[in-house]
Amino acid sequence: MGLHIFRLLCKILVATILFHGSCYSDKDGQYTFMKDAIVAPTYASFDYIVIGGGTSGCALATTLSQNASVLVLERGGSPYDNLTATDLGNVIPSSWSQPFTSKDGVDNQRARVLGGGTVINGGFYTRAGDDYVAEAKWEMEDVESAYEWIEKKLVFKPQVKGWQSAYLKGLLEADVTPYNGFTYEHINGTKIGGTLFDIGGHRHSAADLLKYANPDKIVVYLNATVHKILFTTKGDQKLKAHGVIYKDRDGVFHKAELAENVMNEVILSAGALGSPQLLMLSGVGPRAHLEAHGVNPVVRDHPMVGKGMGDNPMSGVVIPSPLPVEMVPPANVGITKFGSFVEGAALDSLSQTPSIKSNSGLIVEKVDGPVSRGYLELQNTNPDDNPSVKFNYYQEHEDLEKCVIGLETIIKVIDSKAFSKYKYPNATAIELLSLMLSPQTAVSNLTQYCIDTVRTIFHYHGGCQVGRVVDKNYKVFGIDSLRVIDGSTFLKSPGTNPQATVLMLGRYMGQKIIQDRVSFGGK
Ligand SMILES: Cc1cc2nc3c(=O)[nH]c(=O)nc-3n(C[C@H](O)[C@H](O)[C@H](O)COP(=O)(O)OP(=O)(O)OC[C@H]3O[C@@H](n4cnc5c(N)ncnc54)[C@H](O)[C@@H]3O)c2cc1C
Ligand SMILES: *[C@@H]1O[C@H](CO)[C@@H](O)[C@H](O)[C@H]1NC(C)=O
Ligand SMILES: *[C@@H]1O[C@H](CO)[C@@H](O)[C@H](O)[C@H]1NC(C)=O
Ligand SMILES: *[C@@H]1O[C@H](CO)[C@@H](O)[C@H](O)[C@H]1NC(C)=O
Ligand SMILES: *[C@@H]1O[C@H](CO)[C@@H](O)[C@H](O)[C@H]1NC(C)=O
Ligand SMILES: *[C@@H]1O[C@H](CO)[C@@H](O)[C@H](O)[C@H]1NC(C)=O
Ligand SMILES: *[C@@H]1O[C@H](CO)[C@@H](O)[C@H](O)[C@H]1NC(C)=O
């Protein structure tokens, strides 16, 4: 039952995948520079090697290719292929999503495709708050133009009708005010955010950014799993990354190296699970842990790699509807003044859970931050396998308080006048909440309810955090020519949903790196 509900929540949150798994016209994705790694040479050299063609990786590589040669290595396939079974339940090795279960016992998902999370996610797009940008010590103007660059290419205004509109008005009745209309900004109140789905329901993803890459300067290999970053250790000289080893789907190993230039770099953009995992597999991480797994040599003892893992806990309620609901991805969000965010989506007759009415809405709350933190460790030395990860959901009481306020807000939305036509009159909010418990029991204590129903909304981050593993320029402490640029560097999840800021960071850092290169003397 638990897993069943999880699958249902997944389906609703990323509902449109069911219709638009293969969502591109024939012209899209015909990149001349994108190839299967089986055709890659056994050796090649580049100015930049980007590991992971995901959310930040695609934005970064596109930007770098304007002024330097770039190799992108992505373990997954092409999002432009006609892979019909893109449902997150699909566990075949070439599917776009790799499931994992954290040591907290919560089922989760991890992208494995060019475009990364933006190919399999709910598409909801919203920026980080100004305080977040200030804390990260990013330059506001450059952040603004990087967000705009992404938004012009990938982001759309959603249509808010029927169910979504009733839910939005319900949020306002529940005092999540003011109403801020359609905006990407992170501000208290209720708003309509952006979406990666265009008006025709077609998904756009980070892979589409490659359209703007310089085709003469970029090479993208798919089905290319990086096994190791290579380092040079000459005497007492500082450790330096100089290349990578990757494997194609026939099991053949290839080597790529940095061309001779002090500005050239290996950049890790393998996501919050992939980046700390690959650093460890390359010998950079907590020494005792690496030795216990036989990683040899340990090139640098880096105790904070894999630390600070966080995932925003979520609880949600499914609300059977007497009226038909339109199939819509998340479009509105309520930002309470108390660190709880409330999101909603609806699902029509596709629900396969017999105990739940086929026509249903879903309202979830999630916790800002969170304060509770966990860790990531290797399970083995196979880069295809998931590392083990524990998020320690609700270890800190502060997170629980935010959850309770979120649930109280959901209850008010369900009980609101505006929402009443989308629920059966005989179903109370508390009864609906109890349906999410297994076994189904009466709900008397919302704090306990948060603990009992904790799930993920896939915003996990950390593992290579700024100030711990990388400096404020995203350079790995103690190692030359190596940066990490993706969600693993975050101290907390930005805004209500991270993808906007992960995409932005790829663009923003790409621009910075190019400027540094040019001021150093071009080439
Ligand atoms: C189901 C789901 C729904 C979500 N919904 C939303 C939403 O609605 N709105 C929102 O803002 N956010 C959402 N998110 C979160 C958001 O998509 C992610 O936070 C973001 O995409 C992470 O970006 P990243 O660049 O850090 O990692 P990814 O995008 O995951 O990129 C990492 C890439 O590296 C590749 N890789 C990893 N290891 C290796 C290796 N060894 N060799 C080669 N390649 C490798 C992976 O295959 C992947 O493509 C959702 C996430 C999921 C999973
Ligand atoms: C990647 O490998 C899969 C098989 O695992 C294959 O179906 C797919 O076509 C490959 N992708 C590309 C771009 O060649
Ligand atoms: C990078 O190249 C683009 C054109 O490809 C050019 O417009 C831009 O000025 C270059 N950037 C720098 C910093 O030189
Ligand atoms: C994709 O696959 C489905 C199912 O096999 C098929 O009906 C559809 O025509 C294919 N679409 C394209 C563009 O090839
Ligand atoms: C929201 O309101 C809280 C409490 O009044 C305040 O501390 C916070 O800065 C506000 N946040 C935003 C994003 O406006
Ligand atoms: C509520 O009403 C609906 C439709 O009239 C019915 O199917 C359902 O069983 C009722 N639920 C409860 C809890 O009485
Ligand atoms: C509610 O549950 C929490 C967590 O188990 C517990 O600490 C608290 O005492 C409970 N409150 C009441 C009123 O029972």
Residue ranges of domains in the chain, CATH in brackets = 3-158+193-312+369-393+454-520 (3.50.50.60)
Distance 217 CA to ligand 3 centre (A): 13
Mean pLDDT of the chain: 91
Contacts of 427 (CB under 8 A, 6+ apart): 319, 320
Q: What is the pLDDT of residue 380?
A: 98
Residue-level pLDDT at 166: 96
439 pLDDT more than 90: no
pLDDT higher for 359 or 155?
Answer: 155
Instruction: Check residue 328 and give its pLDDT.
Output: 72
Question: Residue 343 belongs to what H/E stretch?
Answer: strand 340-347
The answer to whether the CB of 357 is under 6 A from ligand 2 is no
**How high is the pLDDT of residue 478?**
96
CA distance 434 to 443: 6
Neighbours of 145 (CB within 10 A): 14
Residue 405: pLDDT over 80:
yes
The pLDDT score that the predictor gives to residue 2 is: 45
Residue 482 has pLDDT above 50, yes or no: yes
The most confident of the ranges 228-237, 287-296, 357-366 is 287-296
Q: Is 459 a catalytic residue?
A: yes
Q: Name the residue among 420, 357, 358, 336 with its Cα closest to residue 163.
A: 420
Of 501, 506, 456, nearest in space to 65 by CA: 506
pLDDT confidence band for 200 (50 / 70 / 90): confident
pLDDT at 7: 58
pLDDT class of 522 with cuts at 50, 70, 90: low
Q: What is the CA radius of gyration of the chain?
A: 22
For residues 368-396, average pLDDT? 98
Rounded CA-CA distance 521/153 in Å is 31
pLDDT value of residue 259: 98
In this structure, of 141-155, 388-402, 432-446, the range with the lowest mean pLDDT score is: 432-446
Share of the chain above pLDDT 90, in %: 78
Q: Which two tokens stand for residue 275?
A: 């980046």
pLDDT in tens, 155-182: 999 989 899 999 999 999 999 999 999 9
Give me the count of residues in the chain: 523
Distance (Å) from CA 169 to ligand 1 centroid:
32
317 and 434 in contact (C-beta within 8 Å)? Answer: no
444 vs 304: CA distance, rounded Å? 40
Q: For residue 487, what are the contacts with CB-CB under 8 A and spacing of at least 6?
A: 55, 56, 271, 272, 460, 461, 498, 502
Q: Which residues contact 241 (CB under 8 A, 6 or more apart)?
A: 229, 230, 231, 258, 265, 266, 479, 480, 481, 482
Report, as an integer, the average pLDDT of 470-488.
Answer: 98
pLDDT in tens, 2-57: 445 555 565 556 544 433 433 444 457 789 999 999 999 999 999 999 999 999 99
Measured between alpha carbons, how far is 115 from 206 in angstroms, rounded to an integer?
5
- Tokens 């029509």 locate to 348
- % of the chain beyond a pLDDT of 70: 90
What's the one-letter identity of residue 437? L
HSE-CB for 107 with a 13 A CA cutoff: 16
Q: Looking at 20, 204, 289, 459, which residue is catalytic?
A: 459
Cβ–ligand 3 contact at 67 (below 6 Å): yes
55 annotated to a ligand binding site: yes
Mind listing the pLDDT tens digit for each residue in 311-358?
Answer: 999 999 989 899 888 777 788 999 999 999 999 888 665 444 444 446
Which ligand places an atom closest to the C-alpha of 336? 5
Cα-to-centroid distance, 412 and ligand 5 (Å): 21
Does the Cβ of 77 fall within 6 Å of ligand 2?
yes
The pTM of this model reads 0.94
Query: Is 487 annotated as belonging to a binding site?
Result: yes
Strand extents, DSSP E, 264-331: 265-268, 284-285, 300-301, 307-309, 313-320
Q: What are the percentages of helix, strand and coil residues in the chain, rounded to 5?
A: 30, 25, 45
Statement: residue 287 has pLDDT above 80 = yes
Structure tokens at 58: 């695609």
Contacts of 329 (CB under 8 A, 6+ apart): 13, 14, 15, 16, 122, 123, 124, 158, 195, 197, 345
